[in-house]
Structure formats: structure tokens, C-alpha cells
Amino acid sequence: MYCTKSITKDLTWVGANDRRLAMFEGVYSVPDGVSYNSYLLMDDKTVLFDTVDKAVTKTFLENVKHVLGDRKLDYVIVHHMEPDHSAALMEVLLRYPEATVVCNSKLEKMLHQFFDLDLKDRILLVEEGSVLSTGHHELHFVMAPMVHWPEVMVSYDAVDKILFSADGFGTFGALNGAMFADEVDFDRDYMDEARRYYCNIVGKYGTQVQALLKKAATLDIAMICPLHGPVWRKKLGEFIEKYDLWSRYVPEEKCVMIAYASVYGNTENAAEIIACRLRDKGVKTVMFDVSVVPESEIVAAAFRYSHLVFASSTYNAGIFVRMEAVLHDLAAHNIQNRTVALVENGSWAPTSGSLMKKILEGCKNMRILEQTVSLRSSLKEDQLAEIDALVDALAADFPAAAPAPAAPVQESPSDSVVEPNAFFKFSYGLFVLTAKDGDKDNGCIINTLQQLTDTPKRITIAVNKQNYTHDMIVRTGVFNVSILTESVPFKIFQQFGFQSGRDTDKISADDPIGRTANGLTYLSEYANAVISGKVTDMLDYGTHTLFVADVTEARVLSEEPSVTYAYYFAHIKPKPQPAQEKKKGFVCKICGYVYEGDVLPDDFICPLCKHGASDFEPL
């Protein structure tokens, strides 16, 4: 029986979930299962975006048949040839013989590698910048090599502003009835698995992910449809910010991750003591026993945290096997930009410390502390100084917790000061204030709305006199306030706050707006309530006018939390990006492999696709 979910009026999810899969790609445990996402666009032409893994093909085909009904399938877009997204492709093409495969030249080559079906005359090749019109919708194609295979591309629906992102922005975990990230507590239920997915599947290719993010930044994206995990339609910026950090190998949090390998508990004991003494200094710590915790979780934690401690027994004159696997896995995933401390143990010839250091020295920009601890079987009292030196070296990078300063004693009125930052401690909201004068609709952002009385319902707003909306309210005496929610995108602040209504139309028919009984506009999206006011008094306060108004209409639009000034700065306003040193190197035009260096040797052969130096170009 089919099981589909509507994404937009024209787009339907026709994928399926697999909760019986134990190991994704035979490597990564997926205790919460995984979703295989496929999407079907019903326009003048019908378009299927990717297929699914063989394990869920039956349900997928039923879904496609149900949504298509009596219509034929015109196009199948293949973004990525990995079999968890293409295994059902041949079955689709056999069932729908009129369907054309849309792919790039690298995808076409892989199609013939995976399948034997003759596809001549059934392939439409696209490249960077190609456009496919399906009637109402217009699909633009963007190449994304090595995110995380060389043939990968993404597509962008310029009408609905949807990015079909292939494996980008995916996550482990089945979809439990909820299709959208905002329908669940994503931070609680999916973020750890999203991080684990990125770091282990895509993490090696940070440079290539950065290239794709730069391309995506030129698009007006309202929704992201990945091939695994929920669809993003709200708070996209927060998840994109995570991808930016992960792909630049910048820690999300200042914290010490301690991973230990202990045969009989003595190395574990040293790790516990280090963790306790760090906590005594106010430093956050997390601990992992590498013999118990899957490597993929430790890799994800190493991407998340700023400082790493590896403590290992010596085993067969080397590193304990599970610790050695973890370190090689981290190196293979290109971990960099971390501070590292090492602890070794060995009853007669401890060598694990130097061997761990050798692996980590091969990673970029790893600061390996000089302070180390070398145990002989177990930690002794006279070695606690070594433990303390290592702890102090780690803690030196963390701001010490200082007591709050005592309030200064004011000896006279002349000693008083006014600190501007004190006003940012107010609990401000953010609102879109709208007005209308004649045929002109306009609006601006304000942060001061207050209920003045309950009977009658009366509110106040303070509006800067430089705002055109202010002048409209003075003339007309009516206004609307839309109370913004946490999902409001930055573009709303650009639209209503970064331009003047005197010389532009801030509100158009294409905007998500409605009208209240007073004829004024309000935001029908990104707002949880609208309040209409009729001005009863105006008080002049220099730069601002305080309007007192009776409430003539008030409606709840959603139950989403209201956005605050603090939330805006923390999660919505784009953060200034640090100036990045321009990398010197060359990128393979075939697969996206990056060779770092000033000069590319003439005889260089790409280790991934085996093409020569002539197929490389400068970064």
C-alpha cells in the first residue's frame, strides 16, 4: 500500500523508510533506521527526483504509481549514482518506457557501470547552469563533485525555491511520520545523527562542501529536500551554519573530548582523573571508551569539540587496536584544527604515545601539547603532577569562570554611568509593523510593543520618526503588528528593515500576506499573531513617537514561539565570517579532488579518478 507525503502543492515525497537496516554501507550502525527520499513533481511534465535502495523498492514503486495516476513519467533526474539512491532506477525505466534520464556526463558513465539496460536516446545530459523547464517550474542544475562522489550534482527549482541537495543536508534516522524538520525536536532527535552522517559520509571533503555552499549562497533557498532525513523549510540558516563549521573543520563547542582504550581499567582510571580535574576548573568534558562506542560516534564528537585527549594502552608493541582504528578513521576524514593531548600506558615498553602522535601529525593544523603522561601499568601518586600539567595546558584555552562583579557603590550622582550594552539585556521582541495610506502598503521592523491595559485592550508601540511607516500611522491612525516567530528568515528583516518605503514597494502580491478587517496587511507566515490598533494618543519623545492604541482585532496564527532580540542575534542574523586564507592548489575538473600546493607536478595523477595534470585547474 502506498504511503506518500505532500511537500508542496506540486511536489510529493514518494520515498520509504528502512528500520531493519543494521549497518549503513556495511560500516555505520543506524539504530533508528534510515529514510531513502525520492520526490515526484507533477507539472506539465512529470519529474521523479532520484529513486531508492533495493530494500524499499516495492513501497517506492507503489508510491510513484499512486501519485502519477494515469499520467506518464516524463523525466527521472539522477543526482547521485550510489545504489541507495539508484537501485530502483532500472525498474522505473522498464515500467515507464517514455521516461528520459536527466544526468551529467559522469553520471551517464556510472549508469553504464551499474546497469546493462540500453539507454541511448533516453538520456538528457546537463551541465553547470543547464535549465530544464517542466511547465510552471524551472529546474537549474549545479555540479557538486565529491560531495561525496565525483558525479554528484544538485538541482534548484527557481519557482518554489527548493534545493534538491542529494546527500547534502542528510541525516541518519527514519522519518516517523513527520516529513519536515520543524515538525520534530530536531536538535534532540536528529542533530547528533545529522552530525554523524556528515562527518563520516562527507566529512573528508570539506573543500568541496565549501564550494557547494558558496554556489548555494547565490540562490534564494526556501526549502531543502535531501536524499536522507527530513525536509527543511524553516530555520535553514541554523543547519547551513552547521555545515559551514563542519566543512571548515571549525569546532562547534569548546569542550574536551576524552577517548580512551583500556584493557584492565588502569588507562581508564587516568582518563577519569583527567576529566574530573578538568571539570574542577570549569572545563566541559565528554568521555568515550573506544572498545564500546562505535568509531563513527567518536569521529562525530571530534568534529564537534575543540580539544581531544587520546589515552591508550600499548598493545602488541603498538596502539590498542580499537584506538588505532579510531585515529586512522579521524585522519581519513581529514580532521584538523584541534588541540590534542596524549596519554600512553605500557607495562614494559609503552609506545602507543609516539605512535598516536605520528598519526595525528599527518593531519593539518593539529596542536599536539608537549605535556603528556606515560604510565607503567597504572597511575602512581608521584605522577599526579604530570596529570595536573596536562590538565593545566588544556584548561589554559578555556576562559576561567569569574565571579560576577559587585555592584559599584555610588557616592554621588556624578558617579553614575549609562552603559549602552545594558539595554540589550531587555527582553525585546521583534515585530513587523504595517500601515496603509491610500493605495500604498508599507511596513517596518520594530522591537517595542507592550500591552498597556487589559480593559479595554490597549497597546503601545514606539516607532522611529525616520520610518515612512511612522508618517503613515500619524496620518491614518491605524496599524497592524505581526508578532514574528523563531522561524522568521533573515530576508524578512532585509525586506522590512533594510530599505525605505519612501522609494521602494516593500510589500508585493507574491509575499505571504493577508489583510485584517481594517484593510491593512499582515504576515501570514513567520508570525504567530496579528494585532490591529487604532491610535488614541501620540506622545513625542524626540527621535521616536509613542503611539497608544485600542485593539480592534487580535488573532492567533500559530503556536510557534515568538522571536526575541537575543534569538535573532544568536540564530537568524548571519554571523560575520572570518577572513579565510586563500588556499593554494589545484582542483580536478573530473572528480573534484584538491591538490594543495603552489605547483602541480606535470606527471601528477589524480588518486581518485586517475586523470592527469591536464585535467586540473587552479583553485
Residue 456 near residue 205, CB atoms below 8 Å: no
Confidence (pLDDT) at 411: 52
Average pLDDT, the chain: 92
Strand order, beta sheet including 544-556: 440-446, 431-437, 478-484, 527-541, 544-556, 458-464, 449-453
Among 202, 231, 247, the domain-final residue is 247
For 44, the grid coordinates are 506539465
User: What are the pLDDT digits (tens) for 185-224?
Assistant: 999 999 999 999 999 999 999 999 999 999 999 999 999 9
What SS3 state is found at 361? helix
pTM of the model: 0.83
Q: What is the largest CA-CA distance in the chain?
A: 91
Range of 609's domain? 585-618
* CA 119 vs CA 61, 113, 151, 166: distances in Å: 20, 12, 18, 23
> What is the pLDDT averaged over residues 320-328?
97
Residues 85 and 66 in one domain: yes
Among the listed residues 570, 560, 568, 573, the one whose alpha carbon sits nearest the alpha carbon of residue 233: 560
Cα–Cα distance measured from residue 265 to residue 352, given in angstroms and rounded to the nearest whole number: 16
Q: What is the CATH number of the domain that holds 601?
A: 2.20.28.10
Q: What is the CATH number of the domain that holds 447?
A: 2.30.110.10
Burial of 172 (0-12, 13-18, 19+ CB in 10 A): buried
Q: Is residue 31 part of a domain?
A: yes
Q: What is the CATH number of the domain that holds 56?
A: 3.60.15.10
Q: Is residue 421 part of a domain?
A: no
Residues 265 and 224 in one domain: no
Residues 261 and 222 in one domain: no
Dihedral, 530, 531, 534, 540 alpha carbons, nearest 10: -100
Residues 265 and 193 in one domain: no
Residues 279 and 218 in one domain: no
Q: Is residue 91 part of a domain?
A: yes
User: What are the pLDDT digits (tens) for 11-47?
Assistant: 999 999 999 999 999 999 999 999 999 999 999 999 9
Among 197, 227, 247, the domain-final residue is 247
Among 217, 247, 277, the domain-final residue is 247
On the question of pLDDT at 607 being above 90, the answer is: no
Q: What's at 610, amino acid-wise?
A: K
Among 407-421, 437-451, 503-517, name the one with the lowest average pLDDT.
407-421
In degrees and rounded to multiples of 5, residue 461 shows phi and psi of -135, 145
Domain count, the chain: 4
Q: Is the peptide bond before 148 cis (omega within 30 degrees of 0)?
A: yes
Among the listed residues 2, 11, 30, the one whose alpha carbon sits nearest the alpha carbon of residue 224: 11
* H-only helix segments in 348-418: 352-361, 384-395
Residues 382 and 261 in one domain: yes
Cα–Cα distance measured from residue 92 to residue 75, given in angstroms and rounded to the nearest whole number: 11
Residues 181 and 313 in one domain: no
Residues 146 and 206 in one domain: yes
Among the listed residues 327, 330, 331, the one whose alpha carbon sits nearest the alpha carbon of residue 353: 327
Sign of the dihedral defined by the CA atoms of residues 92, 97, 99, 104, in that order: positive
Residues 101 and 53 in one domain: yes
User: What are the pLDDT digits (tens) for 156-187?
Assistant: 999 999 999 999 999 999 999 999 999 999 99
* CA 200 vs CA 147, 271, 294, 404, 591: distances in Å: 12, 25, 12, 42, 19
Q: Is residue 420 part of a domain?
A: no
For residue 182, what is the DSSP state? G
- Confidence band for 403, pLDDT divided at 50, 70 and 90: very low
Q: What's at 544, amino acid-wise?
A: H
Residues 343 and 474 in one domain: no
On the question of pLDDT at 77 being above 80, the answer is: yes
Q: Is residue 243 part of a domain?
A: yes
Residues 382 and 305 in one domain: yes
Q: Is residue 103 part of a domain?
A: yes
Q: Is residue 282 part of a domain?
A: yes
User: What are the pLDDT digits (tens) for 268-315?
Assistant: 999 999 999 999 999 999 999 999 999 999 999 999 999 999 999 999
Among the listed residues 261, 267, 260, 259, the one whose alpha carbon sits nearest the alpha carbon of residue 347: 267
> What is the pLDDT averaged over residues 585-612?
80
Q: What is the CATH number of the domain that holds 321?
A: 3.40.50.360
Residues 179 and 105 in one domain: yes
Q: Is residue 76 part of a domain?
A: yes
What SS3 state is found at 246? helix
On the question of pLDDT at 586 being above 70, the answer is: yes
